[in-house]
Structure 1
């Protein structure tokens, strides 16, 4: 039987939203990077510098403070992926050793490093800096470096740690009061982390800024600095090659499916995936995730801004069936999209090793679940239904994409993504749901501040206002608090899911992408300008050597 996939316009139940066209187009397809020295020679130099840096761990082995500073520098410069074994050993030793230091910076640095790596440290470590009544003593009031370390460390709090909440408020207030009197580069770091604290930054973008600052520090190691610059540029070349291929693939898909109402954000999809894992050895996982984000975005815009309720129901039926035989059920304008979903999933499966092909079953289930929840939102919209707040959240946390993407980011990973990891991700565990809450609430807050699309289903913010009869200011404060509560849950999971910590960390990276893309009411996904500068620096500008 011949299947007619000719495009036709759907019934005009919704008007197409005024999405901006992409500003990138064929930029990365045609982009010619600035010529570097011989890539082979640069890689040889990187190997030399990695050896020199590895020897520093032995040099610092008798000093807890020296080892901590070395680990922190490597992580802050985003070259720690070359020294994972050394860092794991070093932090294990630091965890078991006493820290004989009266420095707030040292104590807070140890606290942050260990907690970020799933090693428990009690907030009691900060008691030595407090008076009998629990307030911080006067000695640290004029210690901006120590206060900044305390501030960043406090963002690794878990539910119930009120002492760290107090430390966060105290250190933020003191830093805000003194920032204008600080010297460079500390002043720039304080301003930056007051916007987004270090544990929630986009690691590669923060490294780009810190490389420029590290060379001004008294303890700057020239070998480490050179390694950071070379590693950044060489990885950027790899990312440019990937982005060229992904842009070509994505542009072709958009042209083929012809869904002109949808957001064309191919480069932003790659950025999203890049935030989850930037390392060279995660290239297959990075591209697979970017493709899944693209397909999910088209699905989102179809349900949310264009399809009639009847078309939405037909699309969901086809996705639940998951076979080409469902194509005749669809309206003409969705047939090519559906076929490309089927084809892309098959292409990804074909790229996997035989023992890993089971992963696509989980991936398909995640996509089907996403579709069914999108349909629920579409039904609410078309029936003009205002759900209660918790009812809305139960659905919109899933439509944030957290579950589907938490599964999708595992598909191209190596042996660490085992069956246990997929069951954990698809099961909507605490950290996956917390990721969804951060995404949903930050997205809804950004949409409210910008002016919500009239075609959208009622947001969590609007449902809260309607149910509790409060002002938007009150509702915004509540949602901001729920974002912080979700982060506390995410922090706690580092100590709960110890056997899956590498997977947990990737979901944390996914959550971090939300902090970056939706920061301060922005929307770097929908609006080109909100992420343009970041994308240009990350993918189009090498660091001068």
Structure 2
């Protein structure tokens, strides 16, 4: 069992010279100033001399301190670590299993139950039972158009596709008219239209029926919101779906909202509700303990002190790992190590994007590329401590994997960071030259600078057992399973952060690249970015069921990372600026239990 309390031990470096952090438009440059000094003439009288000294004038993004400081995190307490709560969970799980396996439960009610369990984030307790039910439905259902309603057909289609069953879009043909359009009479079935909308997001390239379904359902759901009505629960679900569909959402953050919505339903099952609340609170207590460990590591590295220009975002970095697919209890060590990786990614991003001069970046990128420990002496102090922390982290993780699986992964981990820094360097070079690349060139570099390849490579080694060399080689070919969530993250990030980053003079992003290349307006460019996200999701849906090179668990994590991107940037920049929306989301997820 890997010790979660491992810490990186670093020598304390000499205190760096004081820098002035100045906000201006443009990357860090060098400013000259004269310093007067005295010397002694041959007659013994002092004389004034001037020396020209180069001092870098550096930028600052004016990042605010973390909402949650070290003392706050260390002070967290909860009752849900007590054994009595764990025993109660086991009792409730047994009752829900009996409910799932009840032979007299009608088919559509069983589908509703599975959907509820998934959206309440407790379905992992019932994987065998759920797979058995869906497998039976898939093999016994001939999809006869007779007596099929829109709601049941759509829900069944979505659940089966979510679990990897190859269900044809043709199941919706019975709801079309002679012209091939969806029948107008379907609009009377509001629940059915909502479920059709949710099902349409599992489409792949070339599935025109599902494209039509999405257009049809979106149009009528928007009309439902405009018209209002007495069914407030349905209206709430419609608004929530239009904000982001289920297939693009992460289970655990979605669970908090759904637990509250489920509790207001007239057909709510008290046993299921109690289990969902208790599970949420127990899991929250586990995450609080892990945050304490991570915050102690962060304090011990002294990176926040030595790199004061960088973002202090350990809670947000932990959120990326938790929501990005590592939410289940058995991934405790994986969450801690992946969070450390995310913290280091954030530091590197701020070095390349904000603080360092171009000359320093060339030196740093060269040291990373050659992984030359001797050359670290050439770097400024703040880069030295960052590099050594990164090197220690890689060695620690590689040592842990070596002990567990007898495979040495140092060269693979280093390659991930080398590729990331190379992409950061390209963006810094474009910025220094005042160059706006074409959209294709920007994305071809930007999906790597999104950091998704680094995150997924570490995730692969943290959760895969046994590690197959052929799978590792495929991983570093950066196939669509890696590219698709990376493109989604890059574009979602740009949509949320572009105005702020352009204001402070950062490198042109996808919006600006497309505007310059095509002459499009800002809104047209933003709409094009949304279209590219839509395309990437279609390709990722194919990877979910058609990729056999990687374990299913890793594929799920890759898909979840695409979901996490849209969650983090749905309401603005949730990582850098720390907008109020993400503060509320994090507080409800990590710090506020459900009553």
Q: TM-score under structure 1 normalisation?
A: 0.94
Question: CA deviation digits over 1:151-194, x for unaligned, max 9?
Answer: 11111111122221221121111111113215232221111111
Residue of structure 1 aligned with 2:68, choices 24, 29, 32: 24
Aligned counterpart, 1:97? 140
Partner of 1:342: 391
Offset of residue 304 of structure 1:
0.9
Matches of 1:420 and 1:229 in 2, distance apart? 42
Deviates more, 1:139-148 or 1:230-239: 139-148
Residues 357 and 531 of structure 1, relative CA distance in 2, 3 Å threshold: farther
Task: Please state whether the residue corresponding to 1:519 is helix, strand or coil.
Answer: coil
Q: Name the residue aligned to 1:52.
A: 95
Q: Find the counterpart in structure 1 of residue 178 from structure 2.
A: 132
Q: Are 1:282 and 2:331 counterparts? A: yes
* Residue of structure 1 equivalent to 2:194: 148
Q: 1:5, CA displacement in angstroms?
A: 4.8
Q: Which residue of 1 aligns with 2:546?
A: 496
Q: 1:227 to 1:3 in 2, by over 3 A?
A: closer
Q: Distance in 1 between matches of 2:294 and 2:103?
A: 43
Alpha-carbon spacing, 1:281–1:356, altered in 2? closer, same or farther (3 Å): farther
Q: How many residue pairs get matched?
A: 541
Corresponding residue for 2:428? Answer: 378
- In structure 1, C-alpha distance between the alignment counterparts of 2:158 and 2:466, rounded to whole Å: 25
Is the contact between residue 118 and residue 494 of structure 1 (CA under 8 Å) also seen in structure 2?
A: yes
Identify which of 250, 253, 258 aligns with 1:202. Answer: 250
Q: Deviations over 1:24-82 (max 9, x none)?
A: 1125423333435x721111111111122222232148743233222212101100111
Describe the SS at the equivalent of 2:385: helix
Kindly tell me: are residues 61 and 124 of structure 1, through their superposed partners in 2, closer, same or farther at Cα, counting changes over 3 Å?
A: farther
The range that moved more, 180-189 or 524-533, is: 180-189
2:209 maps to 163
Give the conservation status (yes or no) of the 8 Å contact 1:60–1:67.
no
The answer to whether the 8 Å contact 1:417/1:503 transfers is no
Question: What is the Cα-based RMSD across aligned positions, in Å?
Answer: 2.2
Q: Show structure 1 runs of 5+ residues with no match.
A: none
Is this contact kept in 2: 1:392–1:463, CA < 8 A? yes
- Quickly say closer, same or farther: Cα 1:129–1:31, change in 2 above 3 A: farther
User: Does 1:519 find its partner at 2:528?
Assistant: no
1:117 touches 1:494 (CA, 8 Å); kept in 2? no
Q: What is the CA-CA distance between 1:3 and the residue it aligns to?
A: 10
- Higher-Rg structure is 2
Q: Distance in 2 between matches of 1:266 and 1:128?
A: 51
1:120 aligns with 2:166: yes
Provide TM-score, normalisation by structure 2: 0.86
1:82 corresponding residue in structure 2: 125
User: CA–CA distance in 2 between the matches of 1:132 and 1:380?
Assistant: 54
Tell me how far 1:195 sits from its aligned partner.
Answer: 0.4
Distance in 2 between residues matched to 1:453 and 1:288, nearest whole Å: 34
Distance across 1 between alignment mates of 2:150 and 2:167: 15
Which structure shows the bigger proportion of residues in strand conformation?
A: 2
Report Cα offsets for 1:186-233 as digits up to 9, x if no partner. 221111111011111131121111112223334322222211111111
Per residue, is there more helix in 1 or in 2?
1
Question: Whole-Å Cα distance in 1 between the matches of residues 388 and 126 of structure 2?
Answer: 43
Bigger mean CA deviation after superposition, 340-349 or 416-425 = 416-425
Unpaired stretches in structure 2, ≥5 consecutive residues: 1-10, 20-54
1:8 and 2:54 matched: no
Aligned partners of 2:62 and 2:531: how far apart in 1? 31
**Shift in Å, 1:357:** 4.5
Does the Cα contact within 8 Å between 1:359 and 1:422 map onto a contact in 2?
Answer: no
Offset, 1:422: 3.2
1:311 Cα offset (Å): 0.7
Out of 353-362 and 152-161, give the one that drifted further: 353-362
